[in-house]
A and B are shown apart, each in its own frame.
Chain A
Amino acid sequence: MLAQVTGRPELLDVPVAADTRLFGAGVGLDSLAGTLLLRQVQRRYGVDVAADDLNLDSLETLGTLAAFIAARI
């Protein structure tokens, strides 16, 4: 989903580790890619991250996002 949303196919090579950070270097999620990602998460899992998470702390790492979604499905 990340590769699709950011339009960067090389992200498919990023190790899918729970501690892979989403902001900053590496994945480098910005407002645009982040908005698209949240929209996809809502579409695919029915979870509205922005509505439930004021600080978007769930977007800290792949692991925190997965846990956030899993708790709400």
Chain B
Amino acid sequence: MIKCVVWDIDNTLLTGVYLESGADLPGADPGLTRVLRELEGRGILSALASRNPPAAAAYVEQLTGADFAAVECGWGSKADAITRIAAELSLAPDAIAFVDDDMLERAEVAAALPDVLVLTPEEAAQAPAWPEFSPAVITDEGRRRSQLYAERRQRQAAAAEFGGSRDDFLRHAGTQITIATAGPADLPRLHELSVRTHQLNSAGQPVAEADLAGLLASPADAVITVRLADDFGDDGLVGAAITTGNGGSNGPDAGVPAPSMVVTVPLVMMSCRALGRGALDALLAWLCRSGAADGAAELRVPCLVTERNVPMRLALAAAGLRAEPESVAPDGRAIFTRPLTGELPALPDWVIVK
């Protein structure tokens, strides 16, 4: 699934060459502008990579009315520009498409970044019809994605200027992390998250809406949602966890807790956009603390061990979870556990539990 299209400017988004046009600046290509806006409405981001001064990007933004999630205007190679854009947006190369009229540029990028989808402007004009550009579900968070990334750029700029620690900045920015039990209205977004998240996903497999609905109804399971907002903007529902065992809702069977009870977390997932803002740390801390409060002795999180979800493993390690190298679940996942005694991870004061 393509999450971001990186566009060239000269003879691609613009009908001419920006620097060669003197006073007569070229207009925007109407076909590609339509494609860009259509994709924006589907929650697919756009970025710019161009050998032009930054003013060219501002000009294109103004002409097309688009919100570019990242802009690389400089004189280096397009492959390097795309690599920086991918890092800035926390996206893997295979989630990126690149559009450029110049055959040599396309060849350079294709050779350096084989996972990037390289397109001519003519192919880009057809892209909205392709499955890679057609997400099955478009949620409110999805439709607002371009706006969310614009807010993210402002937040990053403020964070770069800020002098204190990460937590000091989160407090300064008015960060609010809300942890609550999921409701039926959350199902489409939860399903979308299970499909889209890879780097911060313990299971690596999507969960169907019907299965999620089943979990909502089941007294033995709980679905916990995480919402994230701050002074720069509201990201909405950014992550979730499914818990079973003692972590289930307090039904009529919640009597005297047995010290040997275990809270198992079959799935924990978070949008990579929430990286660096404490949301996953807060969720894991809450899972530890609420499990302990319910009388459970251990938290158990089966987790896929792949190259892609290293960020998830880092969060688990930071929360004190460890896996025995021989402990492998039937589905091949390593089982990370931690006792729910002693010092549990801290829950910052900007976390609201509903």
A residues neighboring B (CB under 8 Å): 6-8, 10, 23-24, 28-35, 38, 50-51, 54-57, 59
- The reply on B293 being an interface residue by CB < 8 A is no
Q: Are A31 and B159 interface neighbours, CB within 8 A?
A: no
Instruction: Find out whether the CB atom of B323 lies under 8 angstroms from the CB atom of A7.
Output: no
8 A Cβ contacts from B275-291 to A: 275-276, 278, 280-281
Known interface pairs A8-B165, A23-B317, A28-B167; A54-B323 also in contact (CB < 8 Å): yes
B311 touches A32 (CB 8 A): yes
B131 close to A (CB within 8 Å):
no
The answer to whether A55 touches B311, judged by C-beta atoms less than 8 angstroms apart, is: no
- A34–B312 CA distance with the chains assembled, in angstroms: 10
Q: Does the CB pair A30–B163 fall under 8 Å?
A: no
User: A30 near B313 (CB under 8 angstroms)?
Assistant: no
Query: Which of under 10, 10 to 19, 20 to 34, or 35 or more describes the interface residues of B?
Result: 20 to 34
A28→B305 CA distance, assembly (Å): 23
Contact B165–A34 (Cβ < 8 Å): no
Report Cα–Cα, A38/B74, bound state, in Å. 27
The reply to whether A54 and B314 contact each other, CB–CB distance below 8 Å, is no
A20 to chain B, nearest CB (A): 15
Q: Is B20 an interface residue (CB 8 A)?
A: no
Query: Which of A8, A31, A33, A38 lies in contact with B312, CB distance below 8 A?
Result: A31
Is B166's beta carbon under 8 Å from chain A?
Answer: yes
Produce 1/0 per residue, B308-348, CB < 8 A to A: 00111111011000110100000000101000000000000
A30 touches B323 (CB 8 A): no
- Give Cα A49 to B276, complex, Å: 20
Could you tell me the distance between the alpha carbons of A28 and B314 in the complex, rounded to whole angstroms? 12
> In the complex, what residue of chain B is closest to A55 when comparing beta carbons?
B322
Chain A residues near B334 (CB-CB < 8 A):
54
In the complex, the answer to whether A30 meets B165 with C-beta atoms within 8 Å is no
What are the 9 tightest A-B residue pairs by CB atom distance, in nearest-first order?
A: A32-B276, A34-B314, A31-B311, A56-B317, A32-B275, A23-B318, A50-B310, A31-B314, A31-B315
Report whether over half of chain A's contact residues are helix, strand or loop; otherwise say mixed: helix
By beta carbon, the residue of chain A nearest B167 is: A28
Q: With a CB–CB cut-off of 8 A, which chain B residues contact A29?
A: 314, 318
Q: Say whether, besides A28-B167, A32-B276, A59 and B311 are in contact (CB < 8 Å).
A: no
Which B residues are in CB contact (< 8 Å) with A33? 166, 276
Assembled-state Cα–Cα distance A6/B311 (Å): 15
Residues of chain B within 8 A (CB-CB) of A7 are: 159-160
Taking a contact as CB atoms under 8 Å apart, the answer to whether B323 and A55 are in contact is yes
Q: List 22 A-B contacts (CB under 8 A).
A: A23-B318, A28-B167, A29-B318, A30-B278, A30-B281, A31-B312, A31-B314, A31-B318, A32-B276, A33-B166, A33-B276, A35-B275, A35-B310, A38-B310, A38-B314, A50-B307, A54-B323, A54-B325, A55-B336, A56-B317, A57-B317, A57-B322
CB of B200 within 8 Å of the partner chain: yes
9 other contacts beyond A8-B165, A23-B317, A29-B314, with CB at 8 A cut-off? A23-B318, A30-B166, A30-B276, A31-B281, A35-B310, A54-B323, A55-B323, A56-B314, A56-B317
Q: Which residues of B contact A35 (CB under 8 A)?
A: 275, 310-311, 314
Could you tell me the distance in whole angstroms from the C-beta of B206 to the nearest C-beta in chain A?
21
Q: Is the CB of B305 within 8 A of A30?
A: no
Whether B313 contacts A50 by the Cβ 8 Å rule is yes
In the assembled complex, which residues on chain A have CB atoms less than 8 Å from the CB atom of B166?
6, 8, 28, 30, 33
State the Cβ distance, A35 to closest chain B Cβ, in Å. 5
Q: Complex formed: what's the CA distance from A17 to B318 in Å?
A: 20
- Which residues of A lie under 8 Å from residue B165 when comparing CB positions? 8, 28
Separation of A51 and B165 alpha carbons in the complex (Å): 29
- Say how far B95's CB is from chain A's closest CB, in angstroms: 16
Query: Cα distance A23–B325 when bound, in Å?
Result: 22
- Once the chains are docked, how many angstroms separate the CA of A8 from the CA of B167? 12
Residues of chain A within 8 A of B318, CB atoms compared: 23-24, 29-31, 34
Q: Given A29-B318, A50-B307, A51-B307, decide whether A10 and B163 contact each other with a Cβ distance below 8 A.
A: yes
